[in-house]
Structure 1
């Protein structure tokens, strides 16, 4: 089959315009015409799947997303996530890193306006309230590691409470936005489950604001954070609350975690839970999104062993504090 990417692109633009008008039947016809012009264009298969899903044609959506994955196995556009939400793929323990990177690279220019002005996001403020007393009473220099630092919102909110702050994020474009603010000592584009050598290993505070939601299994990220912390250091993080154990994937394409699973991961990875509160992280489609604001202390090996023994003998005691 001959390929005509320019013609396919023009037809796909028309299909998207029809979607914005709510004419899914016509949009499907035009998107199929785009694929007739270039059947090897992965983005066109994904867009057709999205239109099918909007039109309620689930089986056709599944087929289109699967065709996309054949052409783009690294899944930059997140077809596997869509298949999972449609019940056509097994749930993985994290979102595809290439998808998350591409998502936030594209999102970077409008990230803060979207979160602050449209979604009323206040995760960093809630985390600061959770650890303010500990920050104020800290002895010696306070060095902070900001996991999933994005454009540097944590650095702005925590300004005045630290001597140095380092950040890591999958998205280089988000990192560039944070660097322009001039608050971070070190900024690295990397994975929080496998942190590069540029990240230090003696932090008294680790902050993870709205980043662990992109992981199902939290153990790799918690272990990586613990390895970079001082004994007794604190980790503060936000999570969306879930009823399914250990986690499920919400319609917003973020993981929701069960409280008992979180507590078990913390013990397994060498943390002692200090506080666990509920708070409204942001608005989504006009509705408040409630999340957990948690603070945990990095313990030494003996404390970790004791925690495991408690977990084995008394599951209720290991499950963390009662929510308020």
Structure 2
């Protein structure tokens, strides 16, 4: 660490402490001093942009975030997301993978306590409720792929009902936490839109709990999942509900998806919709976050039309299929 970087680091620590105390005016002055001490430090520019945004100086916030991106084009801190929410960047079809990886690597040690204790997160439970009626009819062996497995919360809910479970996640530190639970057959650090070789080819169930929210365009992930599923297999996933077609970026820095777009992506990628249920995924700043619990069946359109798939490979559709019923 250079002398300037050391000085900048000390000042930035003070600035962040002042932010934690909501003393934004004082934090702004100290953050400016940190940038002055080392103008090439990307983190200082990002912190400065964040503080400018908090005090309502949008133009200065935009300039600081853009300066950060010059220094870190990989955008591990998510400046482009902030610029998008400020109306200064074009909405992309996914969050930067480097940002998501860094976010969850940092989040891993406190991930479960934060979700369960502070946010009342129950995504895995809602997904299990959606799949429970189908369990007696599902393809065997019941091998499961957990997309964006995180620390293994899905495995804790599903493990006793399936034959084997594999997981994939961008974050190596989250994978490490999941591995310690001993509930997965195989765990791989990788991108769910481009499945690595360590992922098997014929799953009977694919689960994606609170992970597709980090993608705008769902087609690449759904297509990649379908390629690893047996015909007649099921996929169950959660999404945050949105009113903008096909998607928008919410203030929580996650994508929200329109119901009609979801249906179009499913058809395009080789799925039939089985059910679409509304539910409260978690609390955020004291408010419920409404989401959709989607259950879909991997199909082969040509074979289905020809009647070539045996009935015992096609799980029965709920009477309330795609009805938009609500669970709490």
TM-score bracket relative to the smaller structure = over 0.9
Which residue of structure 2 aligns with residue 321 of structure 1?
322
CA distance in 2, matches of 1:298, 1:139: 12
TM-score, normalisation: structure 2: 0.92
CA distance in 2, matches of 1:191, 1:19: 34
- Asked if structure 1 preserves the Cα contact closer than 8 Å seen for 2:138 and 2:233, the reply is no
CA distance in 1, matches of 2:20, 2:213: 29
CA distance in 2, matches of 1:114, 1:304: 44
Which residue of structure 1 aligns with residue 246 of structure 2?
246
CA distance in 2, matches of 1:198, 1:191: 12
- Asked if structure 1 preserves the Cα contact closer than 8 Å seen for 2:222 and 2:269, the reply is yes
Residue aligned with 2:160, SS: coil
CA distance in 2, matches of 1:296, 1:91: 27
**How has the CA–CA distance of structure 1 residues 194 and 139 changed in structure 2, closer, same or farther, with 3 Å as cutoff?**
closer
Which residue of structure 1 aligns with residue 191 of structure 2?
191
**Matched residue count:** 310
Q: 1:16 Cα shift?
A: 1.3
The answer for unaligned runs of 5 or more in structure 2 is 307-320
2:240 is equivalent to residue 235 of structure 1: no
- Asked if structure 1 preserves the Cα contact closer than 8 Å seen for 2:139 and 2:232, the reply is no
**How has the CA–CA distance of structure 1 residues 200 and 11 changed in structure 2, closer, same or farther, with 3 Å as cutoff?**
same
Which residue of structure 2 aligns with residue 118 of structure 1?
118
Q: 1:210 Cα shift?
A: 0.3
Q: How does 1:304-315 map to 2 (within 5 A)?
A: none
Cα deviation per residue 1:119-138 (whole Å; 9 max; x = unaligned)? 11000001001011212333
Which residue of structure 2 aligns with residue 39 of structure 1?
39
- Asked if structure 2 preserves the Cα contact closer than 8 Å seen for 1:267 and 1:304, the reply is no
Which residue of structure 1 aligns with residue 309 of structure 2?
none
2:165 is equivalent to residue 165 of structure 1: yes
CA distance in 1, matches of 2:267, 2:82: 32
Which residue of structure 1 aligns with residue 285 of structure 2?
285
Which residue of structure 2 aligns with residue 23 of structure 1?
23
Q: 1:20 Cα shift?
A: 2.2
- Asked if structure 2 preserves the Cα contact closer than 8 Å seen for 1:3 and 1:39, the reply is no
Residue aligned with 1:4, SS: helix
Alignment RMSD:
1.5
CA distance in 1, matches of 2:135, 2:260: 27
Q: 1:25 Cα shift?
A: 2.0
Which residue of structure 2 aligns with residue 209 of structure 1?
209
Which residue of structure 1 aligns with residue 266 of structure 2?
266
The answer for unaligned runs of 5 or more in structure 1 is 307-319
